[in-house]
Structures are given as structure tokens and as C-alpha cells.
Structure 1
Amino acid sequence: MLSTNLKYLRKQQNLTQVQLAEKLEIKRSLIGAYEEGRAEPKLATLVKMAQVFGLSVDELINPDLPNAQKAGGANRQPNVKVLSITVDNQDRENIELVPYKASAGYLNGYADPEFMEELPKFRLPMIQAPGTYRAFEIKGDSMLPIPSGTVIVGRYVERWQDVKDGTPCIVVSLQEGIVFKRIYQQKQETLRLHSDNPSYEPYEVGFEDIVELWEAKAYISTTFPMAEISLDKLTALVLDLQQEMKKIKSK
């Protein structure tokens, strides 16, 4: 139960009730109440607890957490597995859109049903594969040729280690917020994030900082790409330009 697990985890990390309360931004008396089973934390506090201890909410409320941790070992991957979703009048999951302006709020409200209910929602009939999907508006030029303002539709990833290297993903992390990158697995419990724009250097994010991972499955953009010029056409243009330059010089 949560009261036992919370006390166990706090002692595992050598935290006092005061120190844990500061990390959770709540009163110390609440920690005592939670550990004694006299009160239950709100969902937002529960999610923050899971993040502090590097667990999913499911694992945090596991009735036999000490034994589960011993069995799982120290190198298990701490994925957050609880999602707040919305459904339409036919009980089908919506695709919630997280506009760029709502990115900061999403880090605090991704597990809050009320926050999710306020986001714009839509469906894409062409996406038939099972799973939970969410859409994020991206900003910046780090993933060119996909332009700033594009909406990336991603499928929620429960097991990060199953994602192949080089897969484009939306990464939601405490360190960087919401970013769109290609991810590569690292041995030291980190993901290495790469931009398609070579002007940006790769960097690493630790598993403990990652809140969610969404594998990119589609994108929506109001900017149309420029038509590519074939090598033959480019050669012809260069020859025409050279001919024009010769004519100008001969005059």
C-alpha cells in the first residue's frame, strides 16, 4: 500500500520527511499523514512522488514494492505508465492536441483529467493501429526540413527500450520540456537526442528526467515543401547559365 511504500522509498533515499516535503512542494505534516495512512495524496502529488522516486504510479502503489524492487534489480527502466485520456461519444480515444503555448502547462497537467479535457481534440481515420495517440505542436528549426509550427502525432511508448535507434519521437522531460528528436539508446540509463538539423549538437537526457515518450507516426503542416531539383535538371540549369554568361562576355 502507498503508506508503507512511501516510508520505504523515503528511507531508501535517506530523505527526512522535511526533505521529501520540499521536493514535493507540500507541507511536512502531509508526508506524515500519507505514511500513517491518515490521508491520500491528490493525483498531481502522486504523479510527482513517482517522478521523485523514478517509478511509475503503478509501481508506487504496488502492494509489495520492496520485494518487487529486489526482483526487478537496480537497472529497471522507470517508465511512467499512467495516462489521462479523453474519449468521444462512441467511447473511442481522442487525439489530444498540445499547442506550443500549452507546453509548459502540459508538464504539470499531463496526468490531470481536467487539464486534458480542456485541450483541443480530433481524430485521424487513417491511423488504425492500436494505441494511445497525442499531437504536439513543435517550434524551432532543429528538425528541418520539418518546419516550425508542424503538429507531430505520436503513439505512446510504454517500453522505451523497444524503440529502435534513429526513431523520431516526442520526448517529454523535466529537463527539456517537450522536444521533437531522433532518439538513441544509451547504456547509462539515458537517451541520446539528435536533431535532423546538423547545426544542433546531440545531447543526453536521463531516464529519471523523462516523463513520456511518443513515437512519431504522422505530421500535419500548413507549409508545403519545395519541389526537389533532380541532378539532370540542375545540370541543365548550370549549362544554360554558362551559355548566358558566355553571351554576355562576347558582347
Structure 2
Amino acid sequence: MEVIMTLGETLRKNRRAKNLTLQNVGEAVGLPYQSVQRWETDKAIPNAVQLTVLAKLFGISVDELLSEDFVMGDIKGILPFGSHLTINLPLITVANRTQLLNTFTNYDSVKSLNETFPVTTGIVPVQDNYVVIEIGSDIMEPKLSSGTKVLAEPISQENFPEEHGGVYAVLYNKKFAVRRIVNNDIAEHGKLFLNADNTKYDPIVVEATSIRAMWKVLRVVDAVVF
């Protein structure tokens, strides 16, 4: 009987075959080793850019990492690779952010916004707890202009201290910011430093105790965010 491995098991098998540590892989993709550990235990999945880096690191193709037969372990709500289906996800717009700020209690609160946006699955499957976020200003130009819609995944509170380097939507106090995490000092000093890609805007410092939610931006609706 053929054994079908999860994506996490496939990643772990290839890492060990190359005699690489979790730290080695984390450094290659620009993430802490804990993120790689989450991938290998099927608690999270790498995005398209990360899959490309991983495949190159292991000396194989992305197709060898992902096949139509792979399964995703205990991760719920993921559409199978190769399905190319469309899923309607909650849409956080500039107009409904105030409603979200006033009613947010947990990540399921986004479903009460009553606005959705259709997203077609691609190389990375889409989970049903992802959201689509509308960029509301020129703060992340030139890569993300005002009106651009991006796909984002929720980050659990225990993983807030691990996140850095990418673009994130952060809900804190009564504010909603889409910025790049350049310095995550939550673990040591309880602070998160957020930068705008547009240099005319100053960085902001967020107290960890005020953070109510965080989403990692994965890609523009039809293109990967680098």
C-alpha cells in the first residue's frame, strides 16, 4: 500500500536528506526555526515564494514538493492542490474597518462584515480562515498601492513574537495598520516596530499588550507579494 505523506512530512524528509537543521532552513527563507517546525508538523504552510526557496534548497522542483496526491494532515479548510477553485473570503475594506474595530472579539469576527471577495486557489491552497484586505492608502507604495487587495492569513497570539520581515495587518487598540515588521521585540521588551514602504511615513511602535489581531500578507489577489 502506497503511503501518502503530508506536506510537512515531505519537507522534513527532504531537510533531513540534506542534513539541514530547522535553523538552517529558517535562515534560508528568512524566518525563525519555529516557523519551519510549524510547517513540518502541518500546523502552517509555506507561501509560494517560500516553496520556491525550499525546493531550490533541497535540490528538487516545486512539483516534487507538491503533487495532486499530497494531503495536509490536520489542517482544516484547505482546498486540494491542483483544484483551482474559487473561495469567497471575508473582505476587510477601508469602509468597514471601523465596524471591525468596534466589534472584534476573535478572528471569526471578520465574518460579520458581510462583505466577501472571490479568490482562486493557485500554487498554495487557500484556507477558509484567510481574509482579503483592501490597502487604504499609499503607505505601502510602490509595491502595494491604494485599493490593492491582498490575501492574508491570521496569526495566533502565541506566534506574535515570531513574526518579522513581511507585510502584516495589525489590529491594535482602535487602529488597523498594514505595514512591514522590521523589528519584533515583543518577546524581550513587549514592542512591535512597523515600517511603511513609502518613506514619507514615519515608523510606528506598537505595545504588544495592545495587539488584538495580526494577519500576514501572503500575496496580492493575483500575484505574490515579495
Q: Could you state the TM-score of these two structures normalised by the residue count of structure 1?
A: 0.46
> Within 5 A, what are the aligned runs for 1:106-121?
106-111=100-105, 116=112, 118-121=114-117
Residues 139 and 121 from structure 1, CA distance in 2 versus in 1: closer, same or farther, beyond 3 angstroms? closer
Cα–Cα, structure 1 residues 135 and 147, in superposed 2: closer, same or farther, change >3 Å?
A: same
Is 1:100 the equivalent of 2:94?
Answer: yes
2:171 alignment partner in structure 1:
172
**Which aligned runs of 4 or more in structure 1 are off by greater than 4 angstroms?**
112-115
CA contact (8 A) 1:194 1:201 kept: yes
**Structure 1 position 110, deviation (Å):** 3.2
- Match for 1:161: what amino acid? P
Q: SS of the residue aligned with 1:123?
A: strand
Q: Distance in 1 between matches of 2:202 and 2:110?
A: 37
> How far apart are the structure 2 equivalents of 1:178 and 1:171?
6
Closer, same or farther: CA 117–101 of 1 in aligned 2, 3 Å: closer
Q: Is the 8 A contact 2:140 2:197 kept in 1?
A: yes
- The two structures, once aligned, show a CA RMSD in angstroms of 3.0
- Tell whether 2:157 aligns with 1:156: no
Q: What residue identity is the alignment partner of 1:98?
A: I
Q: Aligned partners of 2:210, 2:180: CA distance in 1, in Å?
A: 17
Deviation, structure 1 residue 113: 5.6
Shift of 1:137: 0.9
Give the Å deviation of 1:162.
Answer: 2.1
Measure the CA separation in 2 of the matches of 1:161 and 1:149: 29
Determine if contact 2:96/2:113 at 8 Å carries over to the other structure.
no
Q: Which runs of 5+ in 1 are unaligned?
A: 1-85, 87-91, 222-251
Q: Secondary structure at the match of 2:198?
A: coil
Whole-Å Cα distance in 1 between the matches of residues 177 and 195 of structure 2?
11
Counterparts of 1:132 and 1:115 in 2: how far apart (Å)? 9
**Alignment match, 2:45:** none
Taking structure 1 as reference, are residues 94 and 144 closer, same or farther at Cα in structure 2, changes over 3 Å only? Answer: same
Contact 1:110 1:116 in 2 (8 A): no
Deviation track 1:158-209 (CA, whole Å, cap 9, x = no partner) reads: 111221x32111111115x221101120131111001111111111001121
C-alpha separation in 2, matches of 1:114 and 1:106 = 7
State the TM-score, normalized to the length of structure 2: 0.50
1:196 corresponds in structure 2 to 197
> Larger % of helix: which?
1
Q: Percent of aligned pairs with the same residue?
A: 21
Whose Rg is larger? 1
Q: Which amino acid aligns with 1:203?
A: I
Match of 2:135 in 1: 138
1:131 touches 1:156 (CA, 8 Å); kept in 2? no
Are residues 157 and 143 of structure 1, via their aligned partners in 2, closer, same or farther at CA, if it must alter by over 3 Å? same
Change (3 A) 1:182 1:117: closer
| Alignment check: 8 A CA contact 2:117 2:132 kept | no
1-side partners of 2:116 and 2:134: how far apart?
A: 12
| Residue 217 (structure 1) aligns with | 218
Deviation (angstroms), 1:115 = 5.8
Q: Structure 2 stretches of 5 or more lacking a match? A: 1-76, 78-85
Asked if structure 1 preserves the Cα contact closer than 8 Å seen for 2:87 and 2:120, the reply is no
